[in-house]
Amino acid sequence: MDQQVASVPRIEALDVLRGFSLGGIFVVNIMAMSGPFTFEGGAAHDLVGIFFHNKFYVLFGFLFGYSLTMQFRSAERAGANAVARTVRRCLALMAIGLLHRVFFYDSEVLFGYGAIALVLLALSRIRIRTALITAAVPFGLFAVVMTAMQLFGGDSASSESDRSTQLEAMRAGWLDAAAYRWDGFVHNLPQFLLFGLLNVLPTLLLGFVAGKRRILEQPQRYLPWLGRVQIIGYGIGLPIAALETLTDLPLAGPAYLAAPLLTAAYSATVLQLLHRYSWLREVFAPAGKLAATNYIGQSVLAAILFTGYGFAMAGRMNDWVILAIAAAVYAAQLAASAWYIRRHRYGPIEWVLRMATYGTLHPNRTQIPSTAGS
């Protein structure tokens, strides 16, 4: 195991974007956890479909790919084996993700990120041009698959039966719900892995390329481009997202391709605001430093509210109330993260991942200067 730990300085923009993405992710997740009827009409669902759905996971995956390059640089500084460190971190992330998936949320991403990161590890020496092509091909192929599924989807009766079963499982107790999610995971594992290669790998690869170029570490490189990114992202991504959500046109594939454009526009807007109002780092960066802990914490809170673990409110709550709860929980997480990070170096999940990565225990408490007189 590695005994020497050398860290790469944290990147402010990375933490801010990660903290920002948590809000959008929770909006989508809480709607999914509130019942099996997500994105099927109503103003609240339309709002989520246009502005949130498939947007923030793209950003989360991009940032995860970027962070892998920082892991490699940290290993190089320490003279450690980057491959061994990354494998240990990925396996730990997969274990945490599997527990999260089985006990709380069956559409979680941590297991998939850990698994696909192992593939990315094998591509770590890939040239940037080749990496971009490797990202584009499966991404485009998945858009074709999405369009085909929309045009030639299954029958609604079977879908309605599946939803009834899902709702019953959501309201069940710990063991019944966990067994249902585990069966679903095992049954759908081949499709899950294929989905990961087609959908997740491209976003991780793009983040990995950006990390190798250290784009987020040099504001002078990205600031001149932000305005153009916003024009393209909002100008193309937003209309397609609206048409796909509000009409019956077969736009699932184009909307999937356009989603990263809207994601990029969101990110450009946040980076512009961060450059103008530096206090925003104090709002979003602490949550970004605790991203994995906050992400799982959101699922725990939603599970208590909607499943048999707590109040079993799945399918029984107004959509706008659910969105209000999401906003309140996210605001509370931002505040709690700022308080916590002043007293601890890492969140609980981040501490476990760090321990697995480096093979050593790390002190987590931060020394707080005493206000008492001497």
Domain boundaries, the chain: 12-358
Residues 99-119 as b or e (16 or more Cβ within 10 Å = b): ebbbbbbbebbbbbbbbbbeb
Helix (H) or strand (E) holding 87: helix 82-103
The mean of the pLDDT values for the chain is 89
What is the rounded average pLDDT of the residues 151-171? 69
Amino acid (one-letter) located at 147? T
> What is the structure's pLDDT at 373?
40
Q: Work out the pLDDT band at 282, boundaries 50, 70, 90.
A: very high
**Dihedral of alpha carbons 253, 255, 256, 257, sign:** positive
- Answer whether 257's CB lies under 8 Å from 237's CB: no
* Greatest Cα-to-Cα distance within the chain, rounded to the nearest angstrom: 76
For tokens 């450059």, name the residue: 275
Q: How many C-beta neighbours within 10 Å does residue 42 have? A: 13
Amino acid (one-letter) located at 270? V
Residues 124-145 as b or e (16 or more Cβ within 10 Å = b): eebeeeebeebbeebbeebbeb
Residues 52-76 as b or e (16 or more Cβ within 10 Å = b): bbbbbbbbbbbbbbbbbbbbbbbbe
> What is the structure's pLDDT at 370?
47
Q: What percent of the chain has pLDDT over 70?
A: 92
- How far apart CA 53 and CA 55 sit, in angstroms, is 5
365 SS3 class = strand
Among 26-30, 155-159, 177-181, the least confident range: 155-159
pTM score over 0.75:
yes
Q: How many CA atoms are closer than 13 Å to the CA of 262, on its beta-carbon side? A: 23
- Span 181-223, pLDDT tens digits: 999 999 999 988 888 889 999 999 999 999 999 999 988 889 9
- Answer whether 25's CB lies under 8 Å from 295's CB: yes
What is the rounded average pLDDT of the residues 229-248? 96
Could you tell me which residues come within 8 angstroms of residue 336 by beta carbon, excluding any fewer than 6 positions away? none
> What is the structure's pLDDT at 9?
58
> What is the structure's pLDDT at 158?
47
